[in-house]
Structure 1
Amino acid sequence: MADNGGAERAQGAGPWTDLDRAPLDGRAITRALVNGPRASWAEVTVVPRTGSTNADLVAVAATAADRTAVIADVQDAGRGRHSRSFTAPPRSQVTVSALVRLPGISPDAVGWMPLLTGITVVDTLRSVCEVDAVLKWPNDVLLTGDRAPGKVAGILVEVAGSTPALTVVAGVGINVTPTAEELPVPTATSLRAAGAAVLDRGTIVRAFLRAFGTAVDEWRDSGWDTAGLAQLYRARCDTLGRRVRVTMPGDEVLVGTAADVDGHGRIVIAPEDGCAPVAVSAGDVTHLRAVPDAGE
């Protein structure tokens, strides 16, 4: 995919007046990630508008180069887990999808890609934006603390093919500048609302793609070892040790303590009814208040 920076500046994403929501500089991003001394990506395209960056990459996965990324100034039909839609004011989010090939990976390990992506988003927000970011299993990114806590980023990872190697597309949406009034639900937040040190979308997306590429390289070089990845995940997962409610497929509900993440990336719940721990591979997790001790 060719750099779209020139067309972006010529056509823009429509009129804009908010200096905090200027269009992305596609040429600067490409220079940093594809052509610069720290280049680690084969192709990076910045588009003024698209329906879904994930859908764009999945559509060309068979022929796209390894380490191809699409970044959108405006995304009209973003999707989260379970095909949930999400929207935001134009140019208020980082919306990026990255295609990577995973030669030699075990099919059992592929389920770790959403968790690895979450680790990378958390580390980027902590180091670049200086916010208290954590993970809620499996890969929701939350901000904690007294100032505007809530979900700040969502992740959707899709398997896009198996030739010439197993290929995945990892999509990330980060709320950067939405105000409290612009956020879609009360449980959402943004970097602006949390007082982040950096709100420049170009800086954030460059840092994320560099970190994501490095994380995939390190995982590959480890032989796709999941034990080390699990340790990294546990250190960033705010769900562990909490009382939770998990709504599983079929509307089955499980309430208990999140005890661990197992070798397959599943959350292990110790049920409140005293039954044996249950490993959950898919479900919606709600953090609950602790049960008061008897006599409180």
Structure 2
Amino acid sequence: MWTDLNRPPLDADALRKALVRGDGEGSAGGDPRAFWSRLDVVQETGSTNADLLARAAHEDCDRHVLLAEFQGSGRGRHSRAWVSPPQAQIAVSALLTMPGMSVGDMGWLPLLTGVAVVDAVRAVAKVPAELKWPNDVLIDGRKVAGILAEVATTTPDPAVVVGIGINVTLARDELPVPHATSLLLEGAEVTDRNTLVRAVLRAIADRWQQWHDTNWDVTDLADAYRARCGTLGQRVRAELPGGTELLGIATDIDTEGRVVIAPEGRADTVAVSAGDITHLRPVRKE
């Protein structure tokens, strides 16, 4: 029995029936047409990403999903901590193998995941979510979700564990940083985590299948990302590896998933593949 009625536990059996193929391990009578092969829910772990990576080192984990009610050592980009009270967040990782994909295109998987998360929370929670390059999800400029992808293997076929953290019912005094938010604080119509998990995992599956069916062509995926990316058109500061900084307008996302910036005072553009992006207020014209 849980003590907080506003934060009920995930229903692992119901999630398996909705999302997992019926002939897979842990399927619990799942739909044979479903995309995912296994789904587990644990009460507590350090990191769902780390757990799936460890599992993948000694068994076939393609399309495995792992959710945790509490994640004590969750990681974001650059090893930043991502924690929340138990059952107030969706902490989920999934391993996906991309047969025949070039290693150079693997970086599109976290961007695809961002598109899927935005679509799912827009459709179910009815909030105006958008992407901040490369893979943060914002609502009115505040971070509600983050995505971290880690390579499990590059041969014979690339396999990546992609982890997602979504703040669902965190109160304002529970937020990890001032610029964070939660679906509850943003007035979401739905904060039921079972409903949200189903929507997110189905959206990822649909996007992955579409990408696979084009033989990993990124044209449509890049268009979908651009359409949901709130970074485009913004004045931004890019903090680049090595401690350098770039100020300018974000003008595009190229076919390699890089953000293209038109630097202030220059006529050229710069494609940034790694770095922290901050959305800045426009410069006032006197």
Q: Does TM, normalized by the shorter one, top 0.5?
A: yes
Query: For the Cα contact (< 8 Å) 1:52–1:77, is it kept in 2?
Result: yes
Number of the residue aligned with 2:177:
185
1: CA distance between counterparts of 2:86 and 2:117? 21
Give how far 1:280 is off. 0.4
1: CA distance between counterparts of 2:198 and 2:48? 16
Number of the residue aligned with 1:264:
256
Matched, 1:25 2:11: yes
For 1:135-176, what per-residue CA distance to the aligned partner results, in whole angstroms no more than 9, with x for missing partners? 0000100012xxxx5100010001101345210011000000
Give how far 1:101 is off. 0.5
1: CA distance between counterparts of 2:161 and 2:31? 24
Within the candidate set 75, 78, 82, 1:79 is matched to 75
Q: What letter corresponds to residue 244 of structure 2 in structure 1? A: E
2: CA distance between counterparts of 1:64 and 1:189? 36
- Report the number of matched residues: 276
Give how far 1:40 is off. 1.8
2: CA distance between counterparts of 1:265 and 1:76? 31
2: CA distance between counterparts of 1:244 and 1:262? 17
Matched, 1:242 2:234: yes
Matched, 1:57 2:52: yes
Gaps of 5+ in 2: 21-29
SS of the residue corresponding to residue 70 of structure 2 reads strand
Identity %: 56
2: CA distance between counterparts of 1:204 and 1:198? 8
Q: 1:161-200, aligned counterparts within 5 Å? A: 161-200=153-192
Within the candidate set 146, 169, 183, 1:154 is matched to 146
2: CA distance between counterparts of 1:219 and 1:261? 17
**Structure 1 stretches of 4+ moved >4 Å:** none
1: CA distance between counterparts of 2:199 and 2:60? 22
Matched, 1:96 2:92: yes
Give how far 1:203 is off. 0.9
SS of the residue corresponding to residue 172 of structure 2 reads coil
2: CA distance between counterparts of 1:278 and 1:201? 40
Number of the residue aligned with 1:233:
225
1: CA distance between counterparts of 2:125 and 2:132? 19
Matched, 1:129 2:115: no
For 1:110-142, what per-residue CA distance to the aligned partner results, in whole angstroms no more than 9, with x for missing partners? 111111010000000000111000000001000
Number of the residue aligned with 1:45:
40
2: CA distance between counterparts of 1:67 and 1:101? 7
Query: For the Cα contact (< 8 Å) 2:112–2:225, is it kept in 1?
Result: yes
Gaps of 5+ in 1: 1-14
Query: For the Cα contact (< 8 Å) 2:55–2:61, is it kept in 1?
Result: no
Deviates most, 45-54 or 160-169 = 160-169
Number of the residue aligned with 1:111:
107
